[in-house]
Amino acid sequence: MSADENSWWRSAVVYQVYPRSFADADGDGVGDLAGVTSRLDHIASLGADAVWLTPFQRSPQADHGYDVSDYLDVDPLFGTLGDFDALVGRAHDLGLRVLVDLVPNHCSSAHPLFQAALEAGPGSPERARFHFSPGRGHSGELPPNNWPSVFGGPAWSRVTEPDGQPGEWYLHLYAPEQPDWNWRHPATGVLLDEALRFWLDRGADGVRIDVAHGLFKADGLPDLADPDIEPMRLRGNVMACDQEEVHEVYRRWRRIADDFEPQRVLVGEVNLLPHRAARYVRPDELHQAFAFALLAAPWDAKAWRTAAAGLLEGAADTGSPVTWVVENHDVVRAPTRYGGGERGLARARAALLAVLALPGSAYVYQGQELGLPEVEVPVEARQDPAWLRSGVTRDGARVPIPWHPEPSGTHGFSAGGPGALPWLPVPTRTEADWGALSVDAQEGDPSSTLELTRAALRLRRRLHADGVVHPDDAATVCTMAGGLLQVERAGTLLAINMGDVAVGLPDGELLLSSGPLTRQGESRALPPDTAAWLRR
């Protein structure tokens, strides 16, 4: 087996598919696996190396798949196991690897083991699989501790016991429909090991592990000294994440992954500060941990410098290359986050070029290659469980993506014809011209974001193939006067103008820029909100 087969992930560009919103082959308004398969050639045409599919396992969809009721099956909404096999087969034919999402911290309240726990009552071995506990207060009317749910409200819900009386409470760090597994119960590890093996056996090239820093909770579930923690992030709850015991799980999973041929890859959603996240990518644990710093950084050269330098330092220390990412299904789309309109789009294009030019691997979220903005989903159509509990909605980044410029209907998302209603409404012409942003509308237009993405990926591939750059390159990050950010690695320089006025283009051969350059006298200049990749 070539070294390449085991280390492809170090420099991979992974395209994230949110199956509900990618392509709907059966016309029911929700995307599905057959739809993904039918559109894999689009992902291959970008030049990506792999696809990460967010959850498609059996699930009542309370958190759109992050509430799993059967880890070993495909939800009928998305198709069948046969559809998964066909997807993997086609992806591999196209040279794309496939990563599957594994959700080990919690399951669905519809999972048969949780249902059995509800029925079995207090003190039963069935309840020991989860975190059930009597409440506090006079008659148990208060939650057992003061932990907040990441989605807002308390992290506990009270159950009605089989005798019809209000009874124990159970822990759910996310929605009430997502009870947390008790990882101190030996059967939990066995169940999730089986799930991991199942998808790897079926041909997945690796897994993305949801809430990888979760799983174990501090023994005794003690109160938080300060329960007023940052919303939508688990990491503030120091009692509910980043416990030492979790590393033993990843050591075991690494042995499982390494036993496959070619070896399989483990990428963790480890939303911790870099020095803690680094501990998850020790040589015998996960291959990579998602880098969240740029997802959170505003459009500001100093903020980017701090974020990028910290991540690069971490990679140098751990030997695990950075997974650069500026968009995913949980955050506001970059063009909107960076200010909206033309300016926001220009910045998002610069950020896209940046993540592809930095050393390591990169994640591109579906629609990012089209420059899609966040959609203002009408309140009555919002579906995110976080919206109901805390007023935060992630729906605007999850709207079905446009394939055709047709003036009505679903812009090619759904095979259901003009009457088919997608699960989230796509914008009408008056809100944002979704059709003008479609794949077909951008195809072949050299100024489009789609063609910029392709050009950047072609260039990246060529520079790697020619040995000009390597995924493990050391890089230095600095900010220059006027908000110019520069990242220098062995053969190339990335420059992003994050300031308000044009600056002279740094020396070197221009390889690609995210937008047109301007002139300053005789020389070329980098306008605001533009990135350039130069050969040195």
Which residues make up the interface to ligand NOJ (CB under 6 A)? 63, 66, 103, 174, 210-211, 269, 329-330
Nearest approach in angstroms of CB 147 to ligand NOJ is 15
Q: How far apart are CA 502 and CA 498, in angstroms?
A: 10
- Spell out the residues 6+ positions from residue 522 whose beta carbon is closer than 8 angstroms to its own: none
Of 148 and 499, nearer to ligand NOJ (C-beta) is 148
Name the residue among 266, 312, 308 with its Cα closest to residue 289: 266
Nearest approach in angstroms of CB 371 to ligand NOJ is 22
Contact (CB, 8 A) for 69 and 107: yes
Of 172 and 347, nearer to ligand NOJ (C-beta) is 172
Of 10 and 213, nearer to ligand NOJ (C-beta) is 213
Name the residue among 321, 259, 365, 269 with its Cα closest to residue 43: 365
Quick one: tokens of 176? 């009430």
Q: How far apart are CA 483 and CA 9, in angstroms?
A: 32
Contact (CB, 8 A) for 44 and 497: no
Contact (CB, 8 A) for 520 and 502: yes
Of 24 and 63, nearer to ligand NOJ (C-beta) is 63
Of 271 and 492, nearer to ligand NOJ (C-beta) is 271
Nearest approach in angstroms of CB 176 to ligand NOJ is 13
CB atoms within 10 A of CB 125: 11
Quick one: tokens of 115? 């249902």
CB-closest chain residue to ligand NOJ = 66
Nearest approach in angstroms of CB 63 to ligand NOJ is 5
In degrees rounded to 5, what are phi and psi of residue 88?
-65, -40
Which residue matches tokens 């469980």?
Answer: 385
Q: Is 183 helix (H, G, I), strand (E, B) or coil?
A: coil
Nearest approach in angstroms of CB 372 to ligand NOJ is 18
Of 231 and 482, nearer to ligand NOJ (C-beta) is 231
Nearest approach in angstroms of CB 50 to ligand NOJ is 18
Name the residue among 140, 142, 46, 143 with its Cα closest to residue 94: 46
Of 211 and 322, nearer to ligand NOJ (C-beta) is 211
